[in-house]
Structure formats: structure tokens, C-alpha cells
A and B are shown apart, each in its own frame.
Chain A
Amino acid sequence: MSHDHDHTDPPADIELRVKALESVLAEKGLIDTGALDELIDIYENKIGPRNGARVVAKAWTDPDYKQRLLSDATAAIKELGFSGVQGEDMVVVENTPDVHNMIVCTLCSCYPWPTLGLPPAWFKSAPYRSRVVIDPRGVLKEFGISLSDEKEVRVWDSSAELRYLVLPERPAGTDGWHEDRLVDLVTRDSMIGVGFPKSSADLHQQAGA
């Protein structure tokens, strides 16, 4: 990381604005700063894509669970303890040899927080949001994914009240793997539909590195 800025520079405008707003709201007694810290701690340290990975790994190993997940995602995800803000009404869509699903919110940045945590900056950016619907294959190429013309790219624009999660295809060569081991293969991007899960070879490489 470059380190050529002067440490006596004031913080960036946006930081100052946030600090000023927070102080005013706290002084007026409209917010409790302890509650803010708690919120930040929850979304920085407790809720993230590891939750979604647990859902996916369970669906890969338990056909009954997968059935429940595809028919009532909200209830099935709650079975694993994940629920709440921005995951009140969930839909899970399954990748198959014929269909690749990808998620976008063209009107803002809606994202399934209980299973994936807060959205990455690119998911909220205007270029991603505007291009996914008109050129999904071009966007996928920039994520390093090239799909056969025979495959349907099914884009889900979650601009309403439902939040979507992609159930990626289980990687080859993982027969007999326990759910806990499969969790490590599931990436955040594979659950948005702009990536694939890691392969078993990727895991071995990581372990050996």
C-alpha cells in the first residue's frame, strides 16, 4: 500500500461528514453510539459469506434440505440460524449444466445480508448494476468466466423486496466430502453468480502453499 500521504492532512471529506453527523445525532440523543458500535461489530465480525457457504454446503450434501431451500429459502436458511435484516424474504436459485444465475440490484444495492454480509463496493457500483442486465456475459468475462453460448444466463434483478442467493454447482471430485470441508470451497462470488466455487485442487494448493 502506498504511504506517501501526509499524516497531518485532515481526514477525507466523507469521513468528516460521517463524524459530524454522528456527533450531532448523539448530542441530540437520537442515536446511541454503543448501538452503532454493536452494529459495526456484527457486520464486520459476525455476519458474512461464511453463513451462505454453510447453506450451500448443506444443500450439496442433504437432498431434503436442498428441496426445502429451493421451495422456501427463508425458512430453510433460518434452520441454520441465519435470518433478519435484508434477508426477511429469500429466494435461492440453482445453477445447473443449462443455467447460470447471477444477481444484481439495478435500482440500488439490495443484497442478502444474513447469508453474505454487506455487499462489496463493486456490487453497488453503477457500472456493475447497469451492465449486468444488458451484457451479463461481458461482465462475467471481466470476472474471468466464459460461458458456452448454449447455457442460459439468468439474471435476477432484486430491486423489489426479495433477496436472492445463487446455489452454485458442486465442484467435481468432491464425492464423499463432509459438509464442513465443502464449506471451504464456497466463495462469496459464487453465491452472487460472478464466480465458481473453488475446486478441490485449489484447496490442496492453498494448504500446500
Chain B
Amino acid sequence: MPVVTKELVPLLVQTGASARVAEEIPARFLPGDTVLARNVNPANHTRLPRYVRGKVGTIVMDHGVFVTPDTAAHGLGEHPQHVYCVRFTAAELWGGDASPRDTVNIDLWDDYLQPS
């Protein structure tokens, strides 16, 4: 196995390793769309936090296509798909006592979402 040497470190640090994938994959959602974060409780790695499961939000950005950690983390393939920034109101997440103005914005993979 090749070992990272002292000489390689600065280059690696400056380059990094993006999880972005240069693959043309159609987006299922557009900014402005209303979506439901699926209420699922997988035993595997996921980036869908419990606090948004079953909640309705709005797509605010489409970040493009990325590797899916839910499969990649388990050696089950990259499964590239769109990642969107979804905006949830504090009231939707936390109920009526929450600020009527505040929002939580979180990046979620296409698979985590369904139309609402």
C-alpha cells in the first residue's frame, strides 16, 4: 500500500477530494418545489438527520450531483444523485412556539425526498 509522504502532503491538502460526480443525472426537483423528507430509520450510515424526517420543506438550491454516502460508506457503490439545499421553517420542525421567521437549511440527497 502506498504511504503518503511528507512531500505529498501539501499537494493533497491543497487539492482535497470532492464528492462531486461529473455525471449527467436528471434532477427530480427544482428550486421552489415543496418536498417531504422521508420518514425512514435505516440501520446504515445516512446523512438524513432525524429532526427533518417526516417534515415538509422547500428546495432552495440544487448543488449538483454527488456520491451517496449511504451506499459508498458501506462499499456499495457511488450511486450518484443530486443534492439539494432544503429550507424548513422552525415552526415546521419544532412546532408553534418556534420563531415565525427562523429557518433551518440543510443539504439532502434526492433519495431522502419525495414530492409534497
- Cα distance, A38 to B3, chains bound together (Å): 14
Q: Which residue of B lies closest to A39 (CB)?
A: B9
Q: Are B16 and A159 in contact (CB under 8 A)?
A: no
Given A89-B20, A136-B102, check contact A39 B13 (CB 8 Å): yes
Q: Is A24 an interface residue (CB 8 A)?
A: no
User: Interface of A with B (CB < 8 Å)?
Assistant: 29-32, 34-35, 37-39, 42, 47, 83-89, 91, 106-107, 133-134, 136-137, 149-162
Q: Give the interface residue-count category, chain B.
A: 35 or more
> Could you tell me if A152 and B102 are in contact, using CB atoms closer than 8 angstroms?
yes
B contacts, CB < 8 Å to A: 1, 3-6, 8-10, 12-20, 47, 49, 51, 61, 63, 66-67, 83, 85, 93-94, 99, 101-109
Contact check, A35 vs B8: say whether CB atoms are below 8 A apart.
yes
Question: Would you call the interface of chain A mostly helix, strand, loop, or mixed?
Answer: loop
Is A84 within 8 A of B83, CB to CB?
Answer: no
Residues of A within 8 A of B19 (CB): 88-89, 161
Q: Which B residue sits closest to A82, measured CB to CB? A: B14
Give the docked Cα–Cα distance between A29 and B4 (Å).
Answer: 11
- In the bound complex, how far is the Cα of B107 from the Cα of A153, in angstroms? 17
What residues on B are CB-neighbors of A149 within 8 Å? 99, 101
Chain B residues with CB below 8 A from A47, complex form? 13
Q: Which residue of B lies closest to A134 (CB)?
A: B94
Give B64's nearest chain A residue, CB to CB.
A89
By a CB distance below 8 angstroms, the chain A residues around B14 are: 83-84
Shortest distance from the beta carbon of A117 to any chain B beta carbon, whole Å: 12
